[in-house]
Amino acid sequence: QAEYAKGLSGVDLATATAAGVLFRRAVQSWWADGWDLLVTPTLGEVPVPLGTFANVADNPMHPIARAGAFVPFTPAYNMSGQPAINLPLHRTESGLPVGVQIVAAYGREDLLIRVASQLEAAAPWADLHPADPT
């Protein structure tokens, strides 16, 4: 991964930075159009076994590529700076939590916390734990 990064230029960095700015502006327009919240899955699939993101000798980008497929929904809002929260609202058959991400407009953390509080009150999860695999 470090070797790959060494091959990138200042132009590559500037291009990526400009794309990030354009994305942030596009996301801001959603809220101007009257949206209050955006709801997405947290992950692209249910939790995976340990070692799924291990390095592969002949493909140093494997962990990043694999992680990109696993978490396709959260990076966009990390990049845009939108406030977001993940809530374990669902469970697999074995009891593993399946998260839901809720995203709000800039400065609307209050809305996220209120919604999260209402969802937890409606379906508490603090005492839920996955089944013991042994």
Question: 25-29, 53-57, 103-107: which has the minimum mean pLDDT?
Answer: 53-57
Strand, helix or coil at 65? helix
Residue 74, pLDDT score: 92
3-class SS at 42? Answer: coil
Is it the case that residue 116 has pLDDT exceeding 90?
yes
Distance of CA 27 to the CA centre of its chain: 15
- The structural domains of the chain, with segments of one domain joined by +, span 2-122
- 58: exposed, middle or buried (C-beta count within 10 Å: 0-12, 13-18, 19+)? exposed
Q: Tens digit of pLDDT for each residue in 28-81?
A: 888 888 889 999 999 988 877 777 777 777 887 777 777 778 888 998 898 888
What is the predicted pLDDT for the residue at 1?
61
Task: Check residue 133 and give its pLDDT.
Answer: 63
Name the residue with higher pLDDT: 105 or 67. 105
Q: What is the pTM of this model?
A: 0.77
Percent of the chain with pLDDT over 90: 38
Q: How many Cβ atoms sit within 10 Å of the Cβ of residue 82? A: 20
On average, the pLDDT of the chain sits at 87
